[in-house]
Structure 1
Amino acid sequence: MTAPDLVLRFVYPANANADFRTVNIHQAVEGSDTLIELYKFHHPNTGVNTGLTTFQRKNFETQLWENAGQIEWNSNTSGAVYFGVERISIRELRKSKKPSSKSRRFKVNSSEYKWKIAENGADLICVSDNLTNRGKTIAMWTQEALILRVAERAEGFLDRVVVTCVLNLWFKRLNLW
């Protein structure tokens, strides 16, 4: 990927008992150590496989947190994501092309993207799967640094990229890729 990428640092609670679905995501300001809060994911029911994970996005103009959506869990592996009023099943945001597939696909409008596990087994890469842009990286998760780099061309659907990253990290953590 080339600059200017959005660099998003995931900050998990210091409390070891906090649910992994609770995370604050900060945008790193290029050329400085400044971090700006951008997203808040909150799952209040640690250890419970059902419940509701809410996610908020900071409005930089008003400096207020706005509800961006929620993840309604029926179990550790099923449920629905609400982006505003649009409802999409978790299964639709993590589709595999065939049973042996190592990638997980999601759609934004008519465009398809896929997350795959990097060669090191820890990081994730999201690429375009459209005819004109097939294979172009739109996001990269680095496990060691807890950083998600998102290409500028994906800013229009940033919520989808961030939420699908969070979902895929959850499933990977459960060894259910």
Structure 2
Amino acid sequence: MSTADLILNFQLSSNPNADPRTLQVVQVVDESQNTTALYKFHHPNTGLTTGVTSIQRINVETQVWENAGQIEWTSNTSGAVYFGVERVSIRELRKPKKSSSKSRRFKVNNAEYKWKLAENGTDMICVSDNLGNRGKQIALWTQDTLTLRVAERAEGFLDRVVVTCFLHLWFRRYNIW
């Protein structure tokens, strides 16, 4: 990965009564660790397995928060994600290639990517699974710092990378990979 990567920090809500699906994602903008808010995830139904998690993204040009999508939960482990008008089941964003697979795949415009656990068992790596780019890392989640490092080439589908990372973290909370 390079110095042009986006460095995103997931910040959990400081409200002790907030649902764990309520958080903010900030971008670390320089070496002095200055940050700017980039995403807001909000789940108003604390403690319920169902409900809707709204996802907002800041428009960097206008500095206005815009709808980036939502997650409609039918249980703690199933539901649908809306990226604009496109509906994708959570299952399709966490698809194993085979039952024994240790990675979870998602598609973006006919290109396939996969998240896999790092050797330390806590961090996650997202790589391309396309011919010619197979194994090329596009994102790295570091659990100790709650940081997602995203390669510049993935900026065109940043929403997918951030949301699939969020979903995997949610599932890992329940010891489900």
* Fold match (TM-score > 0.5): yes
Map of 1:173 onto structure 2: 173
Task: Determine the structure 2 residue equivalent to 1:112.
Answer: 112
Backbone CA RMSD of aligned residues: 0.8
- SS at structure 2 position matched to 1:74: strand
Q: Which residue of 2 aligns with 1:11?
A: 11
**Alignment: residue pair count:** 177
SS at match of 2:75: coil
Larger displacement relative to structure 2 (153-162 or 7-16): 7-16
Distance 1:110 1:63 in 2: 31
- Counterpart code for 1:126: C
Counterpart position of 2:39:
39
Structure 2's unaligned 5+ residue stretches are none
Spell out, residue by residue over 1:98-153, the C-alpha distance to the aligned partner (whole angstroms, 9 max, x if none).
11111100000110000011111111100000011000110000010010000000
Percent identical: 71
In 1, the alpha carbon distance for the partners of 2:20 and 2:167 equals: 11
CA distance in 2, matches of 1:165, 1:113: 12
Distance in 2 separating the partners of 1:138 and 1:18? 31
4+ aligned runs moved over 4 Å, structure 1: none
- How far apart, in 2, do the equivalents of 1:43 and 1:14 lie? 14
Structure 1: segments with no counterpart, 5+ residues: none
TM-score scaled to structure 2, two decimals?
0.98
Q: Distance in 1 between matches of 2:152 and 2:49?
A: 35
Q: TM-score, normalised by structure 1?
A: 0.98
Whether 1:87 aligns to 2:87 is: yes
Aligned to 1:74: 74
User: In the TM superposition, what is the alpha-carbon distance from 1:16 to its structure 2 partner?
Assistant: 3.0
Deviation at 1:14, TM superposition (A): 1.7
